[in-house]
Homo-oligomer: A and B are copies of this chain.
Amino acid sequence: MGQQKTAPESGTRESERRRTILRAAIDVFARKGYHGCRIADVAKEAGVAYGLVYHYFKNKDELLETVFETGWSGFIARARAVAESEGPLVEKVRRIADVAFEAYRVDPRAVKVLILEIARSPAGARINRQTAFVDVIRLSAQMFTRAKEAGELRPDVDPLLASALLFGSIEMGLTAFVVGLADARDTAMLERAKAQIADSFLHGVLLGGASASAEPVKPEPAKHELPRGEDPPDVAPLKREKAAPRARAPKRG
């Protein structure tokens, strides 16, 4: 009684429908959060019958898990390629930032789900969510260890910590966009953010203080400071969806 769920057709060409549903899931998760939405929402978003979701995915958890695997595995692969490549640390760090921001550019919703729902919260139980997160950090920690042996790193810098800090910076940088603190439509801002993350990180970590070819990527020196058009949009310019799913009976109102 095998699962005919995966790939009814040839290898990569999994059912069109399955992908539609997955896509819808990403969107809905991004909008309402994993716990804040019901399977019915996903089905509706996909324009598909409720039951069909269960035809393609064992349960809600597997849905999230799949979103995770799909998105994360791609990122890990790219990050690993960079981390294990040859070349100066400076380059690698910049390219890792590239990978992350490119992922965001291509599919912000997916990144949002990855960051908000999966990377942290003990939400979807199943897979090694945390483990996976930890994996990337380990991966890049090795990179730093090698860099350190090669004398590219300040000797007092702990590779593991450095790795954590790099991804912390990247993640929080992205979070700023995800959460709406910064305007994600502002491409220039994205570019600047990416550059600044790599730069800030490197200059603090590299052996030779503020040297090490600071501006290689962006041509403009320092065009605009706070790229958003208006001044700081009060408190939170984020979308602020419906975001109040639970709380059925307010006890004594």
- Which residues of chain A in 163-220 are interfacial with respect to chain B, using CB atoms and an 8 Å cutoff? 164-165, 167-173, 175-176, 179, 181-182, 192-193, 196-197, 199-205, 208-211
A157 x B35 contact (CB < 8 A)? no
Given contacts A135-B235, A137-B181, A209-B209, contact A226 B121 (CB under 8 A): no
- CA of A221 to CA of B77 in the docked complex: distance in angstroms? 36
Interface size on A, as a range, is 35 or more
Q: How many copies does the complex hold?
A: 2
Query: Which residues on B sit within 8 Å (CB–CB) of A35?
Result: 35, 122-123
- Please give the distance in Å from A131's CB to the nearest CB on chain B: 5
Residues of A within 8 A of B (CB): 1, 3, 32-33, 35-36, 54, 58-61, 115-117, 120-123, 125-126, 128, 130-131, 133-135, 137-138, 155-162, 164-165, 167-173, 175-176, 179, 181-182, 192-193, 196-197, 199-205, 208-211, 221-222, 225-227, 232, 235-236, 238, 243-247, 250-253
